Amino acid sequence: MKTVSRYLGQRTLKTAIGAAIAIFISFSIGLSYGVNSGIIVILSVQSTKKKSRDLAIMRIGSTVLALTIGKLVFTLVGFSSIAFGVYLLFFIPIASRLKFHDGIVPCSVLVSHLLAAKSVTFAMLGNEMMQMLIGAGIGFILNFFMPNLEKQLTEDMRRIDELFHQVLHTMAESLRNKTPLQADSLFAELASTLKASQNSALADAENKMIPGRTQYMDVVEIRSLQYEIMHYMKRYFSRLSQTYEQTEMVAFLTDQVADHFNGPVVGDDVVKSFKEFRNSFKSMDLPASRTEFENRATLYEFLNDLEHFIDVEGIRA
């Protein structure tokens, strides 16, 4: 089964099985237009449990609305193409106002069955309602079979932290060696991994139908903010042309922040180093030239951003 699922895709497999089951049930209980239940399953299988639940509730509500309006219009106007147009004039605006957008087309198909049968009896209305209940219900039940995303999220978090470590370490080496920052591929991989993790974290929360935010969502948000800060810090390297005593100090601190992503360095150590380095900067001689002034000012800007980088994570007490 797992091999088939990988080949076809889990969502495709669930949709095919669900549609077949829905049609079988509809035919078994003698529903007219029973094939329509299978179509509703196709429209109801979603990417997460929450989306499937919300869609099922919305479609059932829109079906009640559509059949009510259809019965009133066909009773008053008769069974004609004009009557169906009148039904749409009422149903579409009301459904849109109630945010039943995804129910407009499938529910209008159900109402078209009333027109084709020229009947609005309770038996016919029940026939159409059952099609929606069967299709939406099976779609909702099938969506309980979702892959567990926690393993993938854990792997993504590990890779994201590894990339942060590599980029920051590369920045430290570039500062020491007065060389251009060569980290474009790392930034690109980090951006794509963060984007994929955002989607996975949201899907994981919706599959668990957890109200509010999850730990994975919070971690991804923090790492995304840190990525933006780190990406902004790239610009400093084009302005650094000399190395000074302060350069080595900032490089050492950058390495220390990088090691924080590998585990051995705790937050208190990083914060303590920032305080010590800032005190050291204040006691050093003033720049002897304009070039030194500009380079040291750039280093100070870099240090401020690096400090903001760790503040985002809440390392500070």
Please tell me the number of Cα atoms within 13 Å of 206 on its side-chain side. 16
CA 162 centroid distance within chain: 22
Of 142, 165, 200, which closes a domain? 142
Is residue 315's pLDDT more than 60?
A: no
Instruction: Report whether 38 contacts 23 (CB < 8 A).
Output: yes
pLDDT (0 to 100) of residue 35: 92
Nearest to 136 by CA among 62, 207, 56: 56
Structural domain range at position 166: 150-312
CA 137 centroid distance within chain: 25
Instruction: Report whether 193 contacts 160 (CB < 8 A).
Output: yes
- Residue 86, judged by CB atoms within 10 A of its CB (0-12, 13-18, 19+), counts as middle
pLDDT (0 to 100) of residue 248: 81
DSSP string, 106-145: HHHHHHHHHHHHT---HHHHHHHHHHHHHHHHHHHHHTT-
Ramachandran angles phi, psi of 288, nearest 5°: -90, -15
* Whether residue 165 is found in the same domain as residue 270: yes
pLDDT (0 to 100) of residue 210: 63
* Whether residue 110 is found in the same domain as residue 65: yes
* Whether residue 218 is found in the same domain as residue 307: yes
User: Is pTM, for the whole model, over 0.75?
Assistant: no
Question: Looking at residue 233, which CATH number applies to its domain?
Answer: 1.20.120.940
**List of residues 6+ apart from 314 with CB closer than 8 A:** 222
Highest mean pLDDT among 149-153, 210-214, 265-269: 149-153
Residue with the larger pLDDT of the pair 3 and 78: 78
Strands (E), the chain: none
Q: What is the DSSP letter of 237?
A: G
Of 93, 114, 142, which closes a domain? 142
Identify whether 317 is part of a domain: no
* Whether residue 163 is found in the same domain as residue 253: yes
pLDDT (0 to 100) of residue 217: 85
Is residue 151's pLDDT more than 80?
A: yes
* Whether residue 249 is found in the same domain as residue 137: no
Is residue 4's pLDDT more than 50?
A: no
Work out the mean pLDDT of the chain and round it to a whole number.
84
* Whether residue 93 is found in the same domain as residue 223: no
Q: What is the pLDDT of residues 219-253, one digit of tens each?
A: 889 999 999 999 998 888 877 766 667 778 888 88
Q: What is the pLDDT of residues 35-91, one digit of tens each?
A: 999 999 888 877 677 777 888 889 899 999 999 999 999 999 999 999 999 999 999
Number of H helices, E strands in the chain: 13, 0
Number of domains in the chain: 2
> What crossing angle do the helices spanning 290-312 and 245-260 adopt, rounded to 10°?
10
* Whether residue 82 is found in the same domain as residue 194: no
* Whether residue 197 is found in the same domain as residue 287: yes
CA distance 317 to 122: 67
- Residue 52, judged by CB atoms within 10 A of its CB (0-12, 13-18, 19+), counts as buried
Q: What is the DSSP letter of 235?
A: G
**List of residues 6+ apart from 87 with CB closer than 8 A:** 69, 70, 73, 74, 108, 111
Identify whether 119 is part of a domain: yes
Identify whether 56 is part of a domain: yes
Average pLDDT over residues 197-217: 76
Is residue 3's pLDDT more than 70?
A: no
How far CA 126 is from CA of 42, 113, 119, 170, in Å, comes to 21, 12, 12, 68
